Amino acid sequence: METGKAEVHGAAEGLRRQKVGVLGAGTMGSGIAITVARAGHPVVVRDLSEDRVEGGLASIRKFLDRGVERGKLSAEKRDAAVSGLSGTTELEALADCDVVIEAIFEDEALKAETFGQLDEICGPETLFHTNTSTLSVTGIASGSKHPERVVGTHYANPAPLVNLVEVARGRLTGDEAHRRTIEFVEGLGKEVVLTKDTPGFILNYFLVPFENDCIRALEAGMGTVESIDKAVTLGLGYPMGTFTLLDIVGLDIHKAVSFALYERLRDPRFAPPPLVDRMIAAGHLGRKTGKGFYEYERAGLMGT
């Protein structure tokens, strides 16, 4: 849920192609899959239903097509990324992956259980990455028989556009898994920030309460959506307005992240304001539904 400089990345020279599994075909999972595929790695996206898998793959292809249209990606790189992309509903399809990146619902027990299942499917050298930024990497890793290979990799959102990944090691993460993870992430063209296994890591610890403050300011009539975004970009120097970013992330995701952090930190600034619930009830989740704080001509991943 963070902003940053938009770039088009390529795989770092000399690093081998690795098969990567991505768990979750939603906004975050699809964004990570785009990032990995664009760097030259074959990617298999797994979700619970065929509809969700196909929807995620369609969003990924559409985003890559738009990159070509806008001159930010060559047609050759787009074709290579798409040719290495596949989808599945079966965990077993990830058996030969070198890296599995989990981007499923923010539920520690569910994530831990998933890694326990992957223990029985993947080889002993497979790296397990969790994209959580609100839950304990150590707690998630407790579901695995090999917690030493579980590493936190929080991709700043939107993942294909922001040049940053937070890497957090759990209490039992091994040195080799940590080293290989940093090498893999840097090979995607990303900058790595090392952080402790604490709620929110660095980015969301600061960003989520700020986003909620902006929503409260809107509720209080301190400014409009447009004027608050302009103040944030021109006055504070942020590359993207708060409401623009929230529309990309999705109000449903923002609510889930906010509550998860509030439950752990008990700071009222992390609790989402009432307007968030009203927008969710109206189906105004952001870009993916065509309307959030702004209205969009088309619904889809990051405006695709």
So which residues are the catalytic ones? 133, 154, 166, 204
Q: How far apart are CA 200 and CA 253, in angstroms?
A: 14
Distance CA 244, CA 232 (A): 11
